[in-house]
């Protein structure tokens, strides 16, 4: 968590100084796409158009796969990695990977 906080602080600091534009790429679940789209639009405004996030809603499995393959900065899934998977990812990629819950949804049966 500390590394993520440091990285986020560094991105915000970099963006606020106007030194460089930062682009982040993510992929994954389709369910949270509407809220993610809003989050990323607002984040772009807060960072004075310096931090852009490109998110492709290709499905949870695709997001996890691309994150493991390190073709994206973050993956979004409705099925979080278990402890063993997280250990393997950290060991194999050197990434300080975290499971971070950020959207809650429900399925309601109707009649």
Threshold 0.85, pTM exceeds: no
Helix axes 60-68, 83-93, angle to 10 degrees: 40
pLDDT at 10: 47
Between CA 74 and CA 54 the distance in angstroms is 10
Domain 20-91 classification at class level? alpha beta
pLDDT at 19: 57
pLDDT < 70 positions in the chain: 1-19
pLDDT, tens digit, 9 for 90 and up, residues 67-86: 999 999 999 999 999 999 99
Domain ranges of the chain: 20-91
């Amino acid at each position: 968590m500390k590394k993520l906080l440091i990285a986020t602080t560094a991105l915000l600091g970099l963006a606020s100084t106007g030194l460089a534009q930062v682009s982040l790429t993510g992929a994954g679940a389709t369910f949270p796409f509407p809220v993610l789209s809003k989050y990323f639009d607002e984040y772009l405004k807060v960072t004075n158009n310096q931090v852009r996030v490109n998110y492709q809603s290709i499905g949870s499995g695709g997001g996890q796969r691309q994150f493991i393959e390190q073709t994206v900065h973050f993956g979004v899934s409705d099925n979080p990695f278990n402890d063993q998977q997280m250990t393997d990812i950290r060991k194999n990629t050197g990434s300080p990977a975290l499971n971070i819950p950020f959207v809650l949804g429900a399925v309601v049966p109707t009649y």
